């Protein structure tokens, strides 16, 4: 069990929308942030990264420090903790169909897909990922945060990072921005390539989802790191790929790793799996020089 049960329960309550968004009115810091992100149009950024910024430099530095080139970490909340996200590709429960070119990247990272991340679980916010009280004492050392614990155990070269669904109710936009920047900085300082993702909309709080996703995009731009625009990939899907609870990803109809069915790919988890593997394939080839 985690060291702190109450906040985990709070995280689940937060997702229901029952806790009001913290006010930031008349806050100069908030005004500066709003000005900084006002130009961000979520529809203007590609689903898959087409520029990789400092990724190759960070990967190369990590290799000199002994980072495992075939390991990655998942960092995020319930939508990343769910078994349907990436695990099926480690279990052989998938059919790539027209996307057979993704088989090599699956083989490289399959072992990581099948591991429970210490920095991914229900109720987690980006602030909690950096808080030692959220670390699992069964696996983490005293004083470690979930993030530092995960990076020590996995020794990854890459990290898939997605926050926002909990954060937009637990944190002000300024707190989310500051904590996300600190988490990305810690990842870069550890010589791990962060692959940052926008998050799915909350069907009851679309405006909040947009604001916090604008922050995600701005952070990726400022740190010059690869970005997956999951938001854009999900927007055309029925219910935006979201389940009846208004915030979890939905699907699959067949299997989360089935890319042969157009109907299946119009649900949340199969679509997220597809764009994540596509993005991971691009980043992997860019940082390793794999053809």
Quick one: average pLDDT of 246-256? 96
**Who's near 143: CB < 8 A, 6+ residues apart?**
132
- Position 1 confidence tier, pLDDT thresholds 50, 70, 90: very low
Determine the pLDDT at residue 212.
97
Is 132's pLDDT higher than 80? yes
* 15 vs 45: which has the higher pLDDT: 45
- The pLDDT of residue 12 is 38
- Would the pLDDT of 285 be above 50? yes
**Could you tell me if residue 16 is inside a domain?**
no
Measured CA to CA, the distance from residue 81 to residue 243 in angstroms comes to 16
Give the mean pLDDT of 35-63.
Answer: 96
Question: Does 92 reside within a domain?
Answer: yes
Q: What pLDDT does 186 receive? A: 98
Residue 98 to residue 189: CA distance in whole angstroms: 38
Confidence of residue 26 (pLDDT cuts 50, 70, 90): low
Domain that holds residue 254: 44-288
In a domain, 63, yes or no: yes
Whether residue 146 lies inside any domain: the answer is yes
CATH number, domain containing residue 206: 3.40.50.1110
Q: Is residue 37 part of a domain?
A: no
Q: Are the beta carbons of 115 and 76 closer than 8 angstroms? A: no
Residue 11 belongs to a domain: no
Per-residue pLDDT of 192-243, as tens digits, reads: 999 999 999 999 999 999 999 999 999 999 999 999 999 999 999 999 999 9
Q: What total of structural domains would you count in the chain?
A: 1
Q: Which residue has the higher pLDDT, 13 or 176?
A: 176
User: What was the pLDDT predicted at 71?
Assistant: 98
Question: Is 2 within a domain?
Answer: no
Mean pLDDT of the chain, nearest integer: 91
pLDDT band at 110 (very low <50, low <70, confident <90, very high): very high
Question: Above 50 in pLDDT, residue 30?
Answer: yes
CB-CB contact of 195 with 106 (8 Å): no
Q: Strand 156-162's sheet: what is its strand order?
A: 68-76, 156-162, 193-197, 227-228
Spatial contact of 49 and 279, defined as CB atoms under 8 Å apart: yes
Between residues 34 and 280, the one the model is more confident about: 280
The residue ranking higher by pLDDT, 36 or 99, is: 99
Q: What is the DSSP track for 217-260?
A: HHHHHHHT--EE-HHHHHTTSGGGGB-TTSSSB---SS-TTB-S
Looking at residues 123-152, what average pLDDT do you find?
97
């Amino acid at each position: 069990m985690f060291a702190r049960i109450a906040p985990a329960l709070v995280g689940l309550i937060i997702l229901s929308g029952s806790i009001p968004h913290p006010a930031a009115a008349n806050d100069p810091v908030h005004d500066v942030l709003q000005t900084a992100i006002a130009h961000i149009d979520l529809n203007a950024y590609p689903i898959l990264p087409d520029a990789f910024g400092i990724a190759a430099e960070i990967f190369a530095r990590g290799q000199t420090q002994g980072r495992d080139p075939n390991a990655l970490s998942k960092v995020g909340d319930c939508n990343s903790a769910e078994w349907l996200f990436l695990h099926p590709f480690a279990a052989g429960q998938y059919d790539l169909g027209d996307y057979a070119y993704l088989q090599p990247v699956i083989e490289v990272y399959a072992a990581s897909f099948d591991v429970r991340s210490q920095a991914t679980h229900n109720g987690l916010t980006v602030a909690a990922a950096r808080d030692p009280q959220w670390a699992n004492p069964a696996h983490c050392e005293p004083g470690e945060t979930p993030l530092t614990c995960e990076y020590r155990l996995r020794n990854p070269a890459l990290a898939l990072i997605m926050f926002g669904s909990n954060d937009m109710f637990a944190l002000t936009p300024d707190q989310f921005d500051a904590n996300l920047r600190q988490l990305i900085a810690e990842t870069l300082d550890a010589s791990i390539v962060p692959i940052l993702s926008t998050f799915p909309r909350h069907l009851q709080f679309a405006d909040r989802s947009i604001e916090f996703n604008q922050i995600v995009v701005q952070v990726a731009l400022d740190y010059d790191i690869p970005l997956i625009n999951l938001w854009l990939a999900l927007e055309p899907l029925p219910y935006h790929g979201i389940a009846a609870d208004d915030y979890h990803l939905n699907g699959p109809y067949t299997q989360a790793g089935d890319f042969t069915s157009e109907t299946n790919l119009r649900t949340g988890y199969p679509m997220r799996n597809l764009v994540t593997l596509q993005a991971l394939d691009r980043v992997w080839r860019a940082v390793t020089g794999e053809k």
